[in-house]
Structure 1
Amino acid sequence: MATPKKVFIFDDNIEILELCTIILEDAGYEIKTSSTSNDIVEQVSAYTPDLIFMDNWLPDVGGIDATRKLKSHEGLKHIPVIYFSANNDVKSLAEQAGADGYLSKPFDIEELEKIVSKHV
């Protein structure tokens, strides 16, 4: 059997982390979550996910800076980052950050699964 694809979710909202974990584990993915994007390169390097969801409003280091750090890192820039926000301008935030896609909150389960299967 193939190894499950790994998804790393950065969000400071525990309920969103739990909801995404339940949905994506049910769909057969392996999930890791973090409520901060501090030491983003170390966190991601240690887990080597196939896909990352990045919230915009994270304490200390925001989602844009965290995404840019990943995208400028030689060993990690190939990992797709999906920008994840309740902002009306989530699309332009995702573009500023250099993300590979975006998902607005609140999202529906099908949308979440679709975007994951598209990128992994």
Structure 2
Amino acid sequence: MQSRQSQQKTLLVVDDDLDILDFLHDLLSMEGYRVLITTKTEVLDQLQQNALPDLILLDVFLSGRDGREVTRHLKSQEETRAIPIIMFSAYPNVKATVQAAGADAFIEKPFDMDILVTKIAHFLC
């Protein structure tokens, strides 16, 4: 895997699986990103204009709230609509519904690390 210059871009990763959060935090930090992780989708409702992430990685199926609902909300708000959202799931058949919700990309779990890093870099260039 190649290291990418990221100019210390901030990524927000939302998943209810702590192992995945730890994995993504470590992987993306090694790529040079500032990585914020959370299991709480409420964080997305409280994003402040001066602290918006450069990209959001969001699980489709979250405890208590569907990631597609969160995506629709973020894409409907002027402050957050331009933030790229990459959604992920172990269920590849949700790809069409993810795109319909407004996600910018979809990646299947288990992650191919190179594909994930490449997709992120694509949206942050």
Q: Is TM > 0.5 for Structure 1 vs Structure 2?
A: yes
Moved more, 21-30 or 91-100: 91-100
Aligned counterpart for 1:25 among listed residues 29, 39, 42: 29
Percent identity of equivalent pairs: 32
Could you tell me how far apart the structure 2 residues matched to 1:112 and 1:29 are?
13
Could you tell me how far apart the structure 1 residues matched to 2:107 and 2:27 are?
15
Q: How many residues align?
A: 119
The residue that corresponds to 1:70 in the other structure is 74
2:94 corresponds to 1:90: yes
2:97 corresponds to 1:107: no
Could you tell me how far apart the structure 2 residues matched to 1:105 and 1:27 are?
19
Tell me the amino acid that sits aligned with residue 114 of structure 1. Answer: T
The residue that corresponds to 1:40 in the other structure is 44
C-alpha deviations, 1:19-78, integer Å up to 9, x for none?
111111000000001112125220465741110011011122210110111000011100
Change (3 A) 1:87 1:8: same
Whether the aligned pair in 2 keeps the contact of 1:40 and 1:69 (CA below 8 Å) is no
Q: TM-score, normalised by structure 1?
A: 0.90
2:60 corresponds to 1:56: yes
Tell me the amino acid that sits aligned with residue 105 of structure 1. Answer: K
Q: Which runs of 5+ in 2 are unaligned?
A: 1-5
Change (3 A) 1:18 1:44: farther
**Over the residues paired in the alignment, what is the CA RMSD in angstroms?**
1.7
Q: TM-score, normalised by structure 2?
A: 0.87
Q: Which runs of 5+ in 1 are unaligned?
A: none
